[in-house]
Amino acid sequence: MLIVAALAVWIAGWALNHWLARRRERWVPLISALIFGATLLLIWELLVRGLAVPAVILPPPSAIAARLADPATQGLLWGDFVQTFVKGALSGFVIGSGAAFVVAVVTDRSPFLQRGLLPVGNFVAALPIIGMAPIMVMWFGFGWQSKAAIVVVMVFFPMLVNTVAGLKETDALQRDLMRTYAAGYWQTLLKLRLPAAAPFIFNGLKIASTLALIGAIVAEFFGSPTRGMGFRISTEVGRLSLDMVWAVIAVAAVAGSAFYGGIALLERAATFWHPSQRER
Amino acid sequence: MRSVLPVLTVVAAILVIWYGAAVWLNSAWAQDRAARADVELSLGALVADTLSQDKPKLPAPHQVAVELWETVAEKNVTSKRSLVYHGWITLSATLLGFTLGTGLGILLAIGIVHDRAMNNSVMPWLIASQTIPILAIAPMIIVVLNSVGISGLLPKALISTYLSFFPVAVGMVKGLRSPDAMQLDQMRTWNASRSQAFAKLRWPSAMPYLFASLKIAVAAALVGAIVGELPAGAAGGLGARLLAGSYYGQTIQIWSALFAAAALAAVMVGLIGLVQRVVLARMGMVR
């Protein structure tokens, strides 16, 4: 019965979105995204109940929501969030992307170094750097410092490659124009090349933002104090209380989306002039 | 070829820094041991000791190279101590996941490009889905699937699939939309059907985007397979090797597993680059 209901929900959501897609108002994409999300959650709930899936395999969304609403859980999750996201991911993100930015600006003055650094950086960016997590835990201990360290290493090369590519974005005509204005190196950098590089820099920051949270969480699998999202996930899986695990995942997903969204908003504010920001 | 010398310079600089760091990080332990044995270490002896410890904080490059040589070339490939054996376990999961992920990504992209409702509803969730740190819940997926009797290659491959479908889907959406309005209008004036426009215009012009995404996807698939091997009880693979090394403080083993993983990633990305060059050349799209 519930399975039939799930099927009905799916068809209803699908039909509703198709009906909405013919309209061209601004709010349509937002609403249809919400409808799709709600449909998914409803189908999940109905299928889990209809097929009698045990809660140790996949808890229904209502159980997860109940877990999230519990004040005791909220306190625990807040502690995990501060430990993993604020201390580990955020500090690593700031240090790593900041360092990459500085290195990119410095190497920008030497074409020789650039030609060497870009291929190596591109290469390193494709490697499974996350494997360094156990090494970082050995070097910097179980605390948040080792998590920040792995995040620094993970975000450094994507950020470096993007910034270096961005600094090359201006063409000879624009640089010549700056020279005819008698602009020095720093003036050219600040007023012409960094603004031109901004879309690339923000691209690097966006990539880094998703890497940061993942790095901080996975590093906790190799040892952590008794709090943190990675610690919570691995211990609660061991105790088979999957509703708690999913609650942590929900927090991580919201935190990650908010982080990415925040950078995207900053990007829109800072690079509003760029063609990629125009309406399709 | 202009960049060979600069690249070599950068690599040489990295090696120098690495050796320096190895001496610096490992000297504490060497000094400690010397102090306990009541001997004064000369600089030469100190350097020699830091570069040849059994469980160094940072193994020197040549130690990693020796370990790699021993575990790749000198061990029988079926031996559990052979990196080829572990590498193959990881590689097979990676390739299965990569294939599934690429197929899924392309299908999704085709749906999104051709169906406005799907674009409105699925695309935002596709992006949001990537902010779920799937790597973080990979161990859970493995444990849970194991409890329902699915174990071995498939769970790891599923994580690889999840990680690799996103770059492919996003790249293909961009690629399938890359023909401009003029070209699409031209197809219309020729009375081409939607499927003809797809096969003759959209699909070929998406090829450069596809290959760029495939390179990212294959690297992501490898990371997924490695993290999928982290839960204790994984029978083998580079991830299990990393975890075992971290349990027993075998730093040289960790670093050699890391390098094996890096080499795997590099080879796969290189292979895709090769296919890309051949395919694009035959399509007359070489820049």
Q: What is the mean pLDDT of residues B134-140?
A: 72
d(CA B120, CA B233): 42
- Measure Cα distances from B102 to A154, B94, B167, B169, B217 in Å: 24, 12, 9, 8, 8
Alpha carbon dihedral A205, A105, A200, B286, in 10-degree steps, equals: -130
pLDDT digits (tens, 9 = 90+) for A41-91: 888 888 888 887 777 777 888 888 888 888 888 888 888 888 888 888 899
Chain A residues whose beta carbon lies within 8 Å of the beta carbon of residue B263: none
Are the C-beta atoms of A142 and A223 separated by less than 8 Å? yes
Chain B residues whose beta carbon lies within 8 Å of the beta carbon of residue A58: 144
| Residue A210 sits at the chain B interface (C-beta within 8 Å) | yes
Confidence at B97, pLDDT banded by 50, 70, 90? very high
| Residue A103 sits at the chain B interface (C-beta within 8 Å) | no
d(CA A171, CA A160): 20
d(CA B258, CA B73): 17
User: In the predicted model, what is the mean pLDDT of chain A?
Assistant: 83
d(CA A252, CA A230): 10
pLDDT digits (tens, 9 = 90+) for B150-172: 777 888 888 889 888 888 888 88
Chain B residues whose beta carbon lies within 8 Å of the beta carbon of residue A134: 242-243, 245-246, 254
Tell me which residue has tokens 């060059």: B277
| Residue A130 sits at the chain B interface (C-beta within 8 Å) | yes
Where do the domains of chain B lie?
A: 3-55, 83-283
Q: Please tell me the CATH superfamily of domain B83-283, with its number.
A: MetI-like (1.10.3720.10)
Cβ-defined contact of A29 to B120 (cutoff 8 Å) = yes
